Chain A
Amino acid sequence: MAAEYRTSFKAYAAWNYQGEIDDLNRASEQGWQLVKGGCFHSRFVKNPGVRYRYQLDYGKIGDMPRYLETFREQGWEYVNSTWNGWHYLRKLYDPSLPEEEYEIFTDRESLREMNGRWVRLALALGIILLAFAVFYLIQLIRTPQLSALVRVLIFGIESAVLLRGAAVMRNPDSGRRRAKTNLAVFITVILIGLVAGCVLQLARPGFQTNQQASEIDEPIVDNRWADFQVYYLDLYYLDLEMESRDPMTFAVVNDAGETVYSVTDTDFSEEDIALRLSRGHYRFSMSCESGYRVDCSIR
């Protein structure tokens, strides 16, 4: 008879590894034995004839032969390791043996050491995510916009989750209060956030244009000097610099012909002029009587 296999798509947060161990033990009791453990999915084979107890270890194994020998001597079978450094181990279950026979870390120091290896990684990652959150927060404060808000929220939430996870894992005594965060959810949220942030950013107009004439004979009016599309309601930022002998007018006009922004001056320079624009087509328009120079960009 062909062996019966099953794949389970359940991901666990690192600080909830005890939850994964409990699930593996339960699956074994129900006749499903682990073939290969993974971060996102694990493979099982049906074999009701045996029962195992599982343990997880984390970190780089410096001396694999010594590691395997140390575990084998005490009846542990090494199943596999994941790409990110988790190791699956199991031991045949014998109800007559005391529970401590199924522990691999038997003192606080070694458990702390194992947890500490993950905590260091989580802290480093959490701090990088936090730095991104702060970077986009500064952008959000200086030039409020949706893409920055999305990024602040995503990086802020993810760094908070990771740093909290590090705190939980650092203190193994808080065992019963382990946070239950699903790794798959964590990664999905960050991916959606990154894509959403990029799409919102890319959908913003972004160009620079300039025009100048040292002398003109007649007043000129350029109604459609440059135009751009706005895809969603947000704040957009205009940098404008203009100089002319006689007062000139610069304006941003929408498709209905309404002026959403205009300035008339001989010498004007300002950055980050916030324009609240809804979805639609817009154009720059300008008029002047004499020699002029205009530099402008919209973001």
Chain B
Amino acid sequence: MKKSEPMSESYFYILLCLAKGDNHGYGIMQMTKELSGGDVVIGSGTMYGAAGNMMKKGWIRETMSEGAGLERKRMYQLTEEGRAALRAEIARLRRMLENAEEV
């Protein structure tokens, strides 16, 4: 298995938001802002690109929300691979933090 690279902050927060449940782009951007206390902002260009890349990697997939017509929204859903990638990243961050605390 190839060594996973550190994830960008945007990727990490997108996956983290989706771990709480399916969400649409705007919801993810809002939640990210709240979770990080305003430190992490995801712009629309970054969101579109990151979602596209993560769909290619198979970490997330697109679904449609319930409802009809304009009510129907494009949603993103975390896949098993995405959950595994997020867990691996959290483990990596935890190890780094532990290492830092030992010093």
Contacts and interface: CB of A to CB of B under 8 A. Distances in A.
B25 A73 contact: yes
Interface in A217-259: none
Query: Interface size for chain A: under 10, 10 to 19, 20 to 34, or 35 or more residues?
Result: 20 to 34
Query: Interface size for chain B: under 10, 10 to 19, 20 to 34, or 35 or more residues?
Result: 20 to 34
Interface in A106-143: 106-107, 109-110, 113-114
Nearest to B24: A73
Contacts of B52: 62-63, 66
Given A69-B25, A69-B74, A74-B29, A114 B45 contact: yes
B49 A103 contact: no
29 contacts: A55-B45, A62-B52, A66-B62, A69-B74, A70-B25, A70-B44, A70-B48, A71-B44, A71-B48, A73-B26, A73-B29, A74-B25, A74-B26, A103-B41, A105-B43, A105-B45, A106-B10, A106-B41, A106-B45, A106-B46, A107-B9, A107-B42, A109-B10, A109-B46, A110-B45, A110-B50, A113-B49, A114-B45, A114-B49
Given A103-B43, A105-B43, A67 B26 contact: no
Q: Do most interface residues of chain B lie in helix, strand or loop, or is the interface mixed?
A: helix
Contacts of B29: 73-74
Interface of B: 8-10, 24-26, 29, 41-52, 62, 73-74
Q: Which has the most chain A C-beta neighbours within 10 Å: B9, B26, B47, B62?
A: B47
Given A69-B74, A89-B44, 9 more contacts: A66-B62, A69-B73, A71-B48, A74-B26, A74-B43, A103-B41, A107-B9, A107-B10, A109-B46
Nearest to A55: B45
Nearest to B10: A107
A66 B10 contact: no
B42 A106 contact: yes
Contacts of A65: 74
A104 interface: yes
A190 B41 CA distance: 42
Interface in A64-87: 65-67, 69-71, 73-74, 76
